[in-house]
Chain A
Amino acid sequence: MKLLLHNRSMLPGVILTIVFAGAAIVSLVWVPYDITILNIADRMKTPSLIHPFGTDQFGRDILSMIMVGARTSIAVALVAVGIGMLAGVPLGLAAAARRGSLPDEIIMRTNDLVFAFPSLLIAVMITAVFGASALNAIIAIGIFNIPVFARLTRGAALTLWSREYIMAARVAGKGPARISVEHILPNVTNLLIVQGTIQFSLGILAEAGLSYVGLGAQPPTASWGRMLADSQTMISLAPHLALFPGLAILLTVLGLNLLGDGLRDLLDPKLRRART
């Protein structure tokens, strides 16, 4: 706890993350206004006490839409990071366990290949083939995450394989798979958590970008990127339509980045010692 307060970036990061995760969870059971009901009489109202963030061109409450949009963003980014970890970590562990072998080469070269496709291009290809949807956005961002985690895991695991306690485990008769799971994995978890936070925030940005150009969540699913796309033609009439969804993305990503920085300092004992 003391460490948590000591770290400059940790506290704002935690607060921002809790606010947006909280908004997403609360929206499951309650939102100020039902966003499926259109109320044209109340359209494009500027922020007021009744509608703190104003209303959109269909009279829907923007605060409520941002709360529901948080759910979409977080769900997409979370599943995409999950895909990246579930596929990338085992690949990285396997590559490190058989360093320099053919499987290692294949895994790493495939990684390089995926890295040559920016996530947006993967999304463009997937959309061209299967059509636009939130699910395809998840797959696109997820695929891009696989090499990130594979590379990170392999790099960290390689340095661990040369340690003496791993040698001891091998002498004791444990196979590479068992050593990877029992000894390597627990020691790379910290790194994975920190990278996971960063990929999570990148995932939120990517989802917003994809939805903005119409390759992500489709209506009626509320999404921050879509809200921004819809607001663009009306930006001179009602700037608040563009202001709040953009701020929501900015603050969520900022919160996650600060949280990631804070966690890295907190979980890395070397950095901690250097600080004190």
Chain B
Amino acid sequence: MLQYFLKRLLSLGLSLVAASIVIFLALEVVPGDPAAYMLGINAQEDTLNALREQLGLNGTILQRYLSWAGGLLVGDFGTSYTYRIPVAELIGERLWVSLPLALYALTLSTMIAFPAGIWAASRRGSYVDTGVMGVTQLGVAIPNFWFAMLMVLVFAINLRWFSAGGFPGWDEGVLAGLKALTLPAVALALPQASILTRVMRSSLLDTLGEDFIRSARAKGLSRGQAMWRHALRNALIPVLTIMGLQFSFLLAGAIIIENVFYLPGLGRLVFQAISSRDLIVVESVVMLLVFAVILVNFSVDLAYALVDPRLRSRR
């Protein structure tokens, strides 16, 4: 187990280094000098140089990469060109919206998908099954930002149950915050819940066809007992994989949904940064999201090994 863990940890580290190099190089090719941009056209040469020095823009490409990556390690993302405050502070603020939103959506999607998938699998071929599968087909095909707009029309404009957008901040209380995040979370969760339901159903059906379930039935367990006691646990592995992958879709998908609801999260930050050419902010947010994706996939891999000892020994 320790060897497996160390191997995975090494590959985690390599992925992070590789990702940071790709992101750094991608934004390195952008023309223009951030220092000149910040100081305007009348800046003196020595002022420009001083600012470049301060921003870490002087030196060879390797030196700049190392200082940027070294900064990342200690949580120093550099200084925003437009806001003139540390990027880490900017991101920290926005994370308090984006992260709860992604987690809220993940919770909703799991809470919908597990019962729906189990229900459909347990009545395979019935109207329930056909109905659930039909709804998930729609859920996968619907653009979530459009679904979000329709929800705003119905629940915010017509019924006035929710506000159409904006975020009051957590200072207003947890309930007010959650309420503002509800429509966005539902919009984000819908396609993911649909995919997860389908995975849950087909994985459960596969497991129900296995020999050990037949043995359990032969021992006298009812279909329901066999499913709850034996099949469900074994069906969870593919479901966990998909949940891990979905977390990255939720984080990235939040970029668009935050724009529908004018939520002050990472997504809005990235778009403002793109329009003001604040590349270091773009770079940092992308790096952070990619880091999150790699880390989640790493955790899912470890979770497998814990759930299924066979996976440990095979490697």
Identify A235's interface contact among B27, B143, B152, B255, CB under 8 A.
B152
**Chain A contact residues (Cβ within 8 angstroms of B): what range?**
35 or more
Report how far A117 CA is from B294 CA in the complex, Å.
9
Interface residues of A in 219-250 (CB under 8 A from B): 225, 228, 231-232, 235-236, 239, 242, 245-246, 249-250
Contact among A113, A231, A250, A251 with B18 in the assembled complex (CB-CB below 8 Å): A113
Given contacts A228-B145, A235-B157, A125 and B26 within 8 Å (CB-CB):
yes
Q: How far is the CB of A231 from chain B (nearest CB, A)?
A: 8
**Which B residue sits closest to A252, measured CB to CB?**
B141
Say yes or no: A125 contacts B23, CB within 8 Å. yes
**Residue from A236, A250, A258 within 8 A of B146 (CB atoms):** A250
A239 to B146, CA, bound (A): 12
B260 interfacial by beta-carbon distance below 8 Å: yes
Judge whether A212 and B145 touch: CB under 8 Å: yes
Docked CA distance A249–B144 (Å) = 11
Those of A107-121 within 8 Å (CB) of chain B:
109, 112-113, 116-121
Inter-chain CA distance A112–B249, complex, in Å, is 16
Interface string of B118-158 (1 = CB under 8 A from A): 00000000000000000001101111011001101100010
**Does B202 count as interface, using CB distance less than 8 angstroms?**
no
Give the one of B26, B138, B141, B248 with max A CB within 10 A.
B141
Using C-beta atoms within 8 Å of the partner chain, give the interface range for chain B. 35 or more
Whether B146 lies near A213 (C-beta < 8 A) is: no
Q: Assess whether B259 is interfacial by the CB under 8 Å rule.
A: yes
Among A116, A120, A253, the residue within 8 A (CB) of B294 is: A116
* Bound-state Cα–Cα, A128 to B255, Å: 15
Across the two chains, which residue of chain B brings its CB closest to A214? Answer: B271
Contact A128 B279 (CB under 8 A): yes
Q: Is A235's CB under 8 angstroms from B15's CB?
A: no
Bound-state Cα–Cα, A228 to B249, Å: 21
Q: Cβ of A116: which chain B residues have Cβ within 8 Å of it?
A: 15, 19, 248, 290, 293-294, 297
Tell me the complex Cα distance, A124–B270, Å.
8
Residue A129, interface by CB 8 Å:
yes
Q: Beyond A120-B252, A121-B286, A125-B26, is A246–B19 a contact (Cβ under 8 Å)?
A: no
Contact call B30/A128, Cβ cutoff below 8 A: yes
Contact A113 B19 (CB under 8 A): yes
Does any Cβ of B come within 8 Å of A59's Cβ?
no
| Chain B residues within 8 Å of A21, by CB | none
B284 CB to nearest A CB, Å = 12
Residues of A near B43 (CB, < 8 A) are: none
Specify which chain B residues have a CB less than 8 angstroms from the CB of A112 in the assembled complex.
Answer: 15
Binary per-residue interface labels of chain B (265-295) against chain A in the complex, 1 for a CB within 8 Å, 0 otherwise: 0000011011000010010001001100110
A90 contacts partner chain B, Cβ-Cβ < 8 Å: no
Given contacts A112-B15, A113-B19, A250-B138, contact A242 B150 (CB under 8 A): yes
> What residues on B are CB-neighbors of A128 within 8 Å?
27, 30, 273-274, 279, 282
Whether A133 sits at the interface, judged by CB under 8 Å, is no
Least CB distance from A123 to B in Å reads 10
B253 touches A120 (CB 8 A): yes
Whole-angstrom distance from the CB of B237 to the nearest CB of chain A?
Answer: 18
Q: Is B85 an interface residue (CB 8 A)?
A: no
Residues of B within 8 A of A249 (CB): 143, 146
B251 within 8 A of A: yes
A119 to B273, CA, bound (A): 19
Question: Least Cβ distance of B210 to chain A in Å?
Answer: 17
- Given A129-B29, A236-B153, the answer on whether A121 and B146 have CB atoms closer than 8 Å is no
In the bound complex, residues from chain A placing their C-beta under 8 Å from that of B289 are 118, 121
**Smallest Cβ distance from B87 to chain A, in angstroms?**
14
Closest chain A residue, CB of each to CB of B22: A113
Q: Which residues of A contact B26 (CB under 8 A)?
A: 125, 129
Interface set, chain B 224-278, CB cutoff 8 A to A = 248-249, 251-253, 255-256, 259-260, 270-271, 273-274
- Complex alpha-carbon distance, A169 and B251, angstroms: 48
Instruction: Kindly name the residue among A120, A208, A225 whose own CB sees the greatest number of chain B CB atoms within 10 A.
Output: A120
List 5 A–B pairs whose Cβ atoms lie within 8 Å, in order of A's numbering: A116-B19, A117-B293, A120-B255, A125-B282, A228-B149
Residues of A within 8 A of B (CB): 109, 112-113, 116-121, 124-125, 127-129, 201, 205, 208-209, 212-214, 225, 228, 231-232, 235-236, 239, 242, 245-246, 249-251, 253-254, 257-258
Residue numbers of B with Cβ under 8 A of A are 14-15, 18-19, 22-23, 26-27, 29-30, 137-138, 140-143, 145-146, 149-150, 152-153, 157, 248-249, 251-253, 255-256, 259-260, 270-271, 273-274, 279, 282, 286, 289-290, 293-294, 297
